[in-house]
Amino acid sequence: MSPSEVRSRLHTVVALAHLLEAVENGSARATAEGYRLLVQRLQVALSDDFPADALLAVLNRFQAASEVYENMHYEHSGLFRSSLERSVSSELKAKQVLMRVAGASRKA
């Protein structure tokens, strides 16, 4: 891939990542179908072979794109971009919710 092709594809990734970030933080809106399409397009764009430093710069700048990328590679790498603290916190919250639901279903 030529440098101009890399640059063009990287611009696409940044534009999609920026839009996803805006939808995630509420400064832009999308229907469920629009959101799904946006994520799918970002996944395709992130599938290109980019220089590692360029890809890391995008993933470090756009949290939502970083999560999409992480989910794309989950079966091989797990939650490699998420902090351990965040992962543990998420797991504990999920456990608490499941315990509440289990308790509520026993009472019903």
Domain-by-domain residue ranges, the chain? Answer: 3-77, 80-108
pTM for this model (two decimals): 0.68
Concatenate the DSSP letters of all residues of 33-80 into one string. Answer: HHHHHHHHHHHHHHTS---HHHHHHHHHH-HHHHHHHHHHTHHHH-SS
pLDDT in tens, the chain (108 residues): 788 888 999 999 999 999 999 999 999 999 999 999 999 999 999 998 888 889 889 999 999 999 899 888 766 555 555 554 555 556 667 777 787 777 766 666
